Structures are given as structure tokens and as C-alpha cells.
């Protein structure tokens, strides 16, 4: 989910190699680049530590869910020291759009099972527009890079980018977000969490979970987290994820699909 560029992917690779070494669990870092569906990745029986969006996680029955390991806590102010994230509503840097103008803008979205790229901007728009339909919506743009490209090509006026993805780009690939301007930020939601396959033995799951939760107390682990814009990993609040389907239904009733 957050392999946004070769440079950022390399930072993640270093972190997961550290996790494998500290936990004594052999982890193979695999590429699963867009447009390969994330649902295929989440269905693999050999998942060791894989990011999963909270919305598809929340829609699975308890006995169908992969095993939650940990959720990141960003160093950014919007996280407020908690395993939360949001979406930035972004436009071209030279665009004169203000928040009130977004009702009449052309919106882009990523994929319909995304909290950050679909449900969060719809929830924001529904509150802003008061039941008024969007002028035009365009998708699926797949991921934050697709949103950036669509804005730069003037295919859309605004789109939502996962605030943590934006943070990573600003940290490692500032030229990618340089053409953008944050117009607004959505309500927070529980951060995408790292999960393991249900088939993994309990001792492997506990080793991975324990080392993720204590990574910030390890000198090397803390440095690797900082390179990823993270303060630490925290225990996921499963009850917070369970609230996401109800939020989505409220959006559907107010706005309908994009």
C-alpha cells in the first residue's frame, strides 16, 4: 500500500528485514505493484506482515479476518500520537479552489474498497454539499500516484490522498507533491494495520507482533521508523475498525456511490 516509489520501497524493505532479524521469522519481501489488486495479496495464506486497509478488514466476519499485528503511529501532527490517519483533499498548487468551492469541483477517487481514497472523500463531500451531488467523479485512479497524475493532467480538479502516503512522498519524493496544495483534510479513521494470515502459527504471529510493538525501543528500529515518518507501532483498536461499515452506509444513504 505504501510502496510509493523505489526509494520509499527501499525504506520499507530495510524495516521488514530488521523485523525478520529481530523476530527470528524468515520474511520474504515481495513486490505487489499496482495494478495488481490488493485483495489478492490479502487472500494469500503465507502473509507474514502485510498492510491492509481498515475498511475491507472491517467488512470481513471476525472468523474470516487475517490476524491483526499492529498499526502505525505517524510523527505528523494530524495523528495526535494515535494510530489514526486521514486523507488530504489536494488540488493543483496554482488552483484557486478553496474548501467552499469543492462542491462544484471534479473529484477523483482511487478504488471503492479504500477508506482513504473513496469513503473518506465521499464522507467529506457529503458533509460539505448537504446532499447536493458531485459535478463529476472519475475513477478508479488506483492509488495516490494516480490521483497526482490526474490532477497534473487536469483530468480532475481535486482528489483525496492518504495523509500518510502524502507524508511519505513529502519526506522522500518532494518533487511529486510539489505541484499539489492541501485544500482540506478529512475526519480521522483508524490507520491501515499490519496483518498476518490466519494460517500462521501462533508463535510466529506473537514474535512479529511483539517486535513491531517494541520497535521504537530499539535503537536501530527507531531509526528505521523515523525514516518512514513513524513514531511507533501500537495495538490496533479493533472496535474502531468495526465502526467503518456504519460510516460507509451513512455516506451511501446521503450521497450514493461515485
Q: Please write the tens of the pLDDT for every residue from 114-167.
A: 899 999 999 999 999 988 889 999 998 998 889 999 999 999 999 999 999 999
Strand 136-138 to 106-108 pairing? parallel
Q: Can you tell me the mean pLDDT for 29-55?
A: 89
Integer-rounded Cα Rg, in Å, for the chain is 18
pLDDT in tens, 80-118: 999 999 999 999 999 999 999 999 999 999 999 889 999
Yes or no: say if 162 and 144 are a contact pair by the CB < 8 Å rule.
Answer: yes
List the domains of the chain with CATH numbers: 6-82+190-245 (3.40.190.10), 85-188 (3.40.190.10)
pTM: 0.92
Summary mean pLDDT of the chain: 94
Nearest residue to 2 (alpha-carbon basis) of 74, 67, 89, 101 = 74
**Listed range (22-26, 34-38, 43-47, 223-227) with the worst mean pLDDT:** 34-38
Amino acid at each position: 500500500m505504501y510502496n510509493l516509489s523505489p526509494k520509499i520501497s527501499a525504506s520499507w524493505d530495510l524495516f521488514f528485514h530488521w523485523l525478520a532479524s529481530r523476530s527470528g521469522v524468515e520474511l520474504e519481501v515481495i513486490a505487489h505493484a499496482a495494478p495488481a489488486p490488493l485483495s489478492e495479496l490479502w487472500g494469500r495464506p503465507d502473509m507474514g506482515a502485510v498492510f491492509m486497509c481498515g475498511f475491507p478488514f472491517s467488512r470481513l466476519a471476525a472468523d474470516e479476518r487475517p490476524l491483526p499485528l499492529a498499526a502505525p503511529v505517524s510523527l505528523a501532527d494530524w495523528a495526535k500520537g494515535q494510530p489514526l490517519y486521514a486523507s488530504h483533499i489536494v488540488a493543483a498548487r496554482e488552483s484557486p479552489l478553496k474548501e467552499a468551492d469543492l462542491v462544484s469541483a471534479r473529484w477523483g477517487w482511487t478504488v471503492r474498497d479504500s477508506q482513504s481514497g473513496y469513503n473518506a472523500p465521499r464522507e467529506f463531500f457529503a458533509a460539505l454539499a448537504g446532499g447536493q451531488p458531485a459535478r463529476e467523479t472519475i475513477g478508479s485512479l488506483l492509488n495516490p500516484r494516480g490521483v497526482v497524475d490526474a490532477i497534473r493532467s487536469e483530468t480532475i480538479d481535486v482528489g483525496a490522498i492518504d495523509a500518510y502516503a502524502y507524508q511519505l512522498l513529502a519526506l522522500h519524493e518532494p518533487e511529486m507533491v510539489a505541484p499539489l496544495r492541501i485544500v482540506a483534510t478529512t475526519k480521522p479513521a483508524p490507520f491501515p494495520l499490519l496483518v498476518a494470515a490466519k494460517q500462521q502459527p501462533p508463535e510466529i504471529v506473537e514474535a512479529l507482533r511483539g517486535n513491531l510493538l517494541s520497535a521504537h525501543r530499539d535503537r536501530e528500529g527507531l531509526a528505521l521508523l523515523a525514516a518512514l515518518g513513524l513514531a511507533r507501532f501500537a495495538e490496533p483498536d479493533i472496535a474502531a475498525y468495526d465502526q467503518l461499515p456504519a460510516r460507509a452506509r451513512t455516506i451511501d444513504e446521503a450521497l450514493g456511490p461515485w
